[in-house]
Amino acid sequence: MLLTIPGLLNPAQIDKIRETLTGAEFVDGRLTAGRVAAQVKHNLELKPEPERHDRLVRIVMASLAHNETFRFAALPHRVADPIVARYEPGMTYGDHVDDPIMGSNGPRFRTDVSMTVFLNPPETYEGGELTIRTPFGDRKVKLPAGDAVLYPSSSLHQVAEVTAGERLVVLTWIQSYVRDPAQRELLYELNLARERLQKEAPGAETTGYVDRSYANLLRMWAEL
């Protein structure tokens, strides 16, 4: 499932992130890439500094915790600390899949869902589209500032070359309670129906059936 989340970060949060990044040092993004990905990765990433890092984590994690679309789509068990990536003219990230296991500096976790949050308006840079290969063809994603996209970490994807301006994004990865992407998609769509029924017909027998089906499917498929 490829899903966009409009307004994950509000303008005040984006301003706070930009303020946090003022004067920050960015380093070669290949330092955090796996052996294969490093061959096609050409970008910059924020150098870890405890104070800046903690501030960014608080802003992003607070947004994720309060966003129902994220919670029901990703069913997050563990969420990686966010990374800020910057692409200047000439920079790109070729076809790759994200590392299946992350967390070299802390607890190890499986990557099920990848997330990109856009920090600057699309009209401020040229190129830089995130292209994700799906069973229905390639999907190109270039969203307004504050919007996010979720997609399976197993998806082959790339970032097109930035030809002008600057592409600035926040990245994170999620280990889901439900490993299988098809099962997560089914649960997400079932929950949309469940939420609608609970608002429009809370006492209906059908609402109870859907609610119990959602709960029991999640119980069947969840991994702790």
- Quick one: residue 132, left, alpha or beta (phi over 0 = left, psi -120 to 50 = alpha)? beta
Give domain limits for the chain: 3-176, 181-221
Q: Is domain 3-176 given the CATH code 3.40.50.10490 in the classification? A: no
**What is the CA 48 to chain-centroid distance, rounded?**
20
**What is the CA 75 to chain-centroid distance, rounded?**
12
DSSP readout, 179-202? --HHHHHHHHHHHHHHHHHHHH-T
pLDDT tens, residue by residue, 48-83 = 899 999 999 999 999 999 999 999 999 999 999 999
Both tokens of 216, joined, read: 């029991």
Which residue from 38, 107, 117, 50 is spatially nearest to 77, judged by alpha carbons?
107
pLDDT tens, residue by residue, 160-181 = 999 999 999 999 999 999 999 9
Both tokens of 17, joined, read: 């992130």
Q: What is the pTM of this model?
A: 0.95
Length of the chain: 224
